[in-house]
Amino acid sequence: MIVGLRHDIDTVYGLRRGLAKVIRIEEKYHVRSTFFVRIDIVRSEKDRCLLKEITDRDWEIGLHLINTINDSRLATPMDELKRLRGLVGAQIHGVTPCGTTIGFKGDVTWKTMDSLGLDYMEGYGMPQFKVNSFVFPTHLSLDIHYVRNLGEVEGYRRFKEDLMHKLEQDELATVLVHPEWFVRTVQGHSLMKIPLTLLRKGLMNKVYERFLSEFKGTVRFKRYIDMLHIANKSIDR
């Protein structure tokens, strides 16, 4: 059974403060993951060097697409991809839609992502028409869906149930956690986030480490590009 590890870097805060915490936890368990990055949060040479460093250490970088409908008022999706390639100096294999700015808009977003000519993509559900890119099944959002809505204890319990069901059914699942929630709480709203963060309530560090620890001997944790290679080998047989 295989679990793809996904992180979306949506904010400067997540990049500069949260990313290092995710990396430390994954190093402890000898796993690697894929970070999908919005191009507009890379604002300095130090930011660029940080992303370049993790790619050199075998983490994967993918495009977290802002312009999910190819809106002419924004940089084109291809320009986003070209800029990310230039920033990290590495090949980009996959794309996911960012939920803010425009968000996922169904068929038009599938077509926009597929037009980039990348190896794989992931959105919500599956496209109902032929695409050229490999499509991964919809992720389980450990932080926003489970912990935010149900709390650390019940959220993690429900997450495990859903993950095991998906693995028993498909032998493959993908799990999403955002780096920003490793430094501030995923729970509460507006000013309530400050005391909750100070009390270390709703931080993903402990939850994510528990997940890696409990499942390390049961599943194979993979980057998305590794999962794609495994899937292609299965198809070729």
The answer to whether residue 234 scores a pLDDT higher than 60 is no
Tokens found for residue 104: 């996922």
What does each C-alpha distance from 237 to 210, 230, 234 come to in angstroms?
Answer: 36, 11, 5
The pLDDT of 131-148, averaged and rounded, is 95
Give the number of other Cβ atoms within 10 Å of residue 34's Cβ: 25
User: Per-residue confidence at 232, pLDDT binned at 50, 70, 90?
Assistant: confident
Q: What pLDDT does 6 receive?
A: 98
**Predicted confidence (pLDDT) at residue 235 exceeds the cutoff of 70:** no
The pLDDT value given to residue 233:
65
- Architecture, CATH, for domain 2-142+172-182+219-231: Alpha-Beta Barrel (3.20)
What angle, 0 to 180 degrees and rounded to 10, lies between the N-to-C axes of helices 19-28 and 204-215?
20
- pLDDT at residue number 172: 92
Which pLDDT score, from 0 to 100, does residue 231 have?
78
pLDDT computed for residue 230 by the predictor = 86
* Overall average pLDDT of the 126-149 stretch: 95
pTM for the whole thing?
A: 0.94
Query: Coil, helix or strand for 189?
Result: coil
For the stretch 66-87, pLDDT in tens is 999 999 999 999 999 999 999 9
Residue 154 three-state SS: helix
pLDDT tier, 5 (very low <50, low <70, confident <90, very high otherwise):
very high
Task: For residue range 143-202, list pLDDT tens digits in order.
Answer: 999 999 999 999 999 999 999 999 999 989 999 999 999 999 888 777 777 776 676 777
Measured CA to CA, the distance from residue 187 to residue 223 in angstroms comes to 27
Which pLDDT belongs to residue 198? 73
pLDDT of 161:
97
When the pLDDT of each residue in the chain is averaged and rounded to a whole number, the result is: 93
- Give residue 195's pLDDT: 77
| Rounded average pLDDT over 31-50 | 95
DSSP letters spanning 40-88: GG--SHHHHHHHHHHHHTT-EEEEEES-TT--TTS--HHHHHHHHHHHH
pLDDT at 220: 95
Q: Is pLDDT above 90 for 90? A: no
